[in-house]
């Protein structure tokens, strides 16, 4: 008897995301043994947004639903707070899966706000999400400091140093404040002054946010972080203090 074989073509989808999931499992880990306990979802600030939560996201990944994951906006709502991995009995690195999901989307199609902020941070060595230059930052800091020294005599000796060599702490700064809300920088200066803290800003790498990380752009993330760390090392600071 001759048996006719009907070839339907290669209709099987390539489950790239599932392969990434397996790579992140701890030794002996198996997604089929997931308890679906919901511990990851219980503390997640993004649970319920866009009708999604970490448990559902993980199951979609396990089922090889790459296209659905890539099309979902939920991975962009994750704050990368890491709560999920700390409570997962299987220690599955869900934030890394979120990062991988973001990379599945073409860069130009990623959220415009995050994309624009990352691109702005790449424009100069400030790494400011507002594209403020090192010179602009120095001018604003010096101007605001002088204003408060004169207006509040009890803080006449307060300092806001930039590129001070050998300082204990290297601080970064929220990019928005020097540009739109410069007075918001002062409360932290006062606390550091009253506590007698030895600190400094850097003229390079002072932008505190890392939108390139949230954009899942590895090269840009490495570039901006490298500038900030390099400046801290050049100044001989002992501790990097991330205010953001």
Cα distances from 196 to residues 136, 235, 237, in angstroms, run 27, 19, 16
Give me the pLDDT at residue 152, please: 97
pLDDT (tens digit per residue) in 185-215: 999 999 999 999 999 999 999 999 999 999 9
pTM as predicted: 0.83
Torsion angle (degrees, nearest 10) of CA 142, 144, 150, 153: -100
Q: Kindly state the tokens that stand for 20.
A: 């990434």
pLDDT (tens digit per residue) in 23-62: 666 565 556 556 788 999 998 999 999 999 999 998 888 8
Cα distances from 36 to residues 39, 57, 85, 147, in angstroms, run 8, 11, 14, 57
Give the orientation angle of helix 186-194 with respect to helix 134-151, to 10 degrees: 60
Distance from C-alpha of 121 to C-alpha of 224, rounded to nearest angstrom:
7
Give me the pLDDT at residue 204, please: 97
Is the per-residue pLDDT at 85 higher than 90?
A: no
Give me the pLDDT at residue 32, please: 59
pLDDT band at 7 (very low <50, low <70, confident <90, very high): very low
Lowest mean pLDDT among 38-42, 89-93, 206-210, 233-237: 89-93
- Identify the bridge partners of residue 199 per DSSP, sorted by sequence position: 169
- Identify the bridge partners of residue 239 per DSSP, sorted by sequence position: 169
The residue whose two tokens read 């001070």 is 164
- Identify the bridge partners of residue 207 per DSSP, sorted by sequence position: 173
Residue (of 182, 145, 177) closest to 161 by Cα position: 145
145 HSE (CA, 13 A, CB side): 15
Report CA 238 to chain centroid distance, whole Å. 23
């Amino acid at each position: 008897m001759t048996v006719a074989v009907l070839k339907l073509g290669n209709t099987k989808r390539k489950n790239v995301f599932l392969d990434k999931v397996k790579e992140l499992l701890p030794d002996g880990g198996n997604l089929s043994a997931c308890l679906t306990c919901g511990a990851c979802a219980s503390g997640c600030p993004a649970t319920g947004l866009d009708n999604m939560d970490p448990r559902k996201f993980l199951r979609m990944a396990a089922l090889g639903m790459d296209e659905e994951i890539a099309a979902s906006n939920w991975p962009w709502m994750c704050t990368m707070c890491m709560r999920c991995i700390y409570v997962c009995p299987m220690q599955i690195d869900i934030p890394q899966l979120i990062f991988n999901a973001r990379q599945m989307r073409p860069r130009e199609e990623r959220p415009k706000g995050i994309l624009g902020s990352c691109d702005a941070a790449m424009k100069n060595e400030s790494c400011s999400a507002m594209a403020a230059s090192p010179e602009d930052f120095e001018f604003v800091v010096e101007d605001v400091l002088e204003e408060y020294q004169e207006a509040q005599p009890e803080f006449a000796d307060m300092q806001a140093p930039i590129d001070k060599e050998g300082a204990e702490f290297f601080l970064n700064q929220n990019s928005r404040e020097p540009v739109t809300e410069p007075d918001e920088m002062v409360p932290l200066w006062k606390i550091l002054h009253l506590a007698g803290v030895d600190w400094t800003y850097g003229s390079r790498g002072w932008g505190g946010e890392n939108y390139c990380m949230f954009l899942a752009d590895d090269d840009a993330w490495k570039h901006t972080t490298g500038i900030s760390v390099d400046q801290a090392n050049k100044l001989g600071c002992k501790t990097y203090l991330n205010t953001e």
